[in-house]
Amino acid sequence: MARTPPPPAKRQWLTHEQEIAVRRAIASGATRDEAAAAAGLTPARLWARLRDQLLDVRVGKGRRGKRVQDADPSPGEIAERARKLRAKWSPERLAEASMFFNGPLPDA
């Protein structure tokens, strides 16, 4: 006689308060473990809910512990960074870059 598989485990959905706590913690830059602790959950239960109930939540993947940048750099900051990078280039490298770039290069 063949064995019947056990019934599937009942999912333990997060309460509304737990869901809000997790979303706030992750939005503030917390890790999954920190978000689980803030909501009073085990990390395993939070990881399971991130695959279904909280599918739209994105935990900072690939940030390697760095915090999310608050705002995009201003055009002046971009120009300053570009100027510093171009100052390190050799004349040959600058000529090569301008050869394949159709737009005007800002004055250094």
105 located within any domain: no
Q: What is the pLDDT of residues 2-27, one digit of tens each?
A: 677 666 677 788 889 999 999 888 88
42 located within any domain: yes
77 located within any domain: no
Contacts of 55-63 with CB under 8 Å at 24 or more apart are 57/22, 57/23, 57/26, 58/26, 59/26, 59/31, 59/32, 59/35, 60/26, 60/29, 60/31
Q: What distance in Å separates the CA atoms of residue 99 and residue 26, rounded to the nearest whole number?
A: 45
90 located within any domain: no
pTM: 0.48
Q: What is the pLDDT of residues 25-67, one digit of tens each?
A: 888 888 888 999 999 999 898 888 888 888 888 776 545 556 6
Q: What is the pLDDT of residues 73-107, one digit of tens each?
A: 889 998 899 889 889 989 888 888 777 776 666 66
96 located within any domain: no
For 32, the domain range is 16-50
Work out how many domains the chain is built from and give that number: 1
